[in-house]
Structure 1
Amino acid sequence: MLRYLVTLQAKDREGLVEQIAHAVSRHGGNWLDSELRHIDGIFAAILLLEVPAAQWDELLETLELLEDLSLTYAKTSKLQTKNKHVSYSLVAYDRPGLVHEISNKISALGINIEHMSTRYESASHTGIALFRADFNVSMQDSQDEERLTQALHGIGDDVVLDNLSS
């Protein structure tokens, strides 16, 4: 079995996930992990698949035949890491450059972002534009948690940060 990270993008339509899942199943694949999103009428997916080597080319051809679907892929391998994984939720007033500030602070500490989901929303009582990010990081040193918390609070007084791993 080979492992592939597959990204898909298409105009959203009913039944698209079922078509993809059917193709993977029909070619002996195992759907290991995924993120599926619908944003502004576009369906986007990141899939980690295990597929028999003899079936990969046929699966790829089947997926490429789906209407208006763009696809990229990369062969992967399972890495063994002993890093600590920590999950956070961050809320701040929305402003341009906020994702850059957050990612810069995390990167400067040598911490790896493994997953990040962001969204724009309005505060329920005031209507103020808010930015929300939920993210998972991988760090080698337990002291990195405190350094990361301090760095992210340094972005501004409006930053509310919750460690969801505790």
Structure 2
Amino acid sequence: MNIQIMVIVHGAEQAHLIKVLSEKTHELGGKWLNSKISHIDNYFAGLIKIEIASNNVDKLIEQFKALHIHVETAKLDLHSQDKSKHFILNVDAKDRFGLVNDISEVLGENDIKIESLECHRIGGADIGGIVFTSEFKISAGDDFDKAELIKSLQTISKDLVINLHA
């Protein structure tokens, strides 16, 4: 019987690591359903949703761990379906301490789930200092009010540039 698992992997960067992980999954009859892999400096982290025969899960995890990376797994419920509305929220502003915290607090107060977040700080004399730029992939329930969220975010700072789209 096939099951779905979420595998969390992270560790020091290794040459061809993603290729090796996918090959090991394929060799055991598994398939990657969804994945998010990120690299920062010489470190990587990934989430991989895998469908595989239940009797091969332990073998797969052992093979992943043999690569000297950190590995965690969770069995997923095959019957759960996400009925949320999905949006992309871009927020740009003059950089300051605590900006990510303030934005995530407003999202939490509005019952919004952060599915992924990517942020950068860009500096240069030609732009007048350091600028914070971000992309939040978010999901919300049926009662979500876009205008209310934007209004709430604008209370953080007057210089926020907010773009929210489906």
TM-score, normalised relative to structure 1: 0.90
Asked whether 1:13 is paired with 2:14, we answer yes
Hey, what's the Cα distance between the residues in 2 that align with 1:124 and 1:137? Answer: 33
Superposed, 1:1-166 pairs within 5 Å as 1-66=2-67, 68-78=68-78, 79-122=80-123, 125-126=126-127, 128-141=129-142, 143-165=144-166
- For the aligned residue pairs, the C-alpha RMSD in angstroms reads 1.7
Instruction: Kindly provide the amino acid, as one letter, of the partner of residue 36 in structure 2.
Output: E
Retained in 2: the 8 A contact 1:85–1:137? yes
C-alpha offsets along residues 91-144 of structure 1, whole Å, 9 cap, x if unaligned?
112222111111110111112222222222225822521222211222223552
Alignment: residue pair count: 164
Compute the displacement of 1:160 (Å): 0.8
Identical columns (%): 27
Cα distance in 2 for partners of 1:72, 1:12 equals: 17
The runs of 4+ residues in structure 1 deviating greater than 4 Å are none
Residues in 1 aligned to 2:69 and 2:128: alpha-carbon distance in whole angstroms: 37
Instruction: List gaps (5 residues or longer) in structure 1.
Output: none
Measured after TM superposition, the shift of residue 81 of structure 1 is 3.2
User: 2: CA distance between counterparts of 1:123 and 1:163?
Assistant: 26
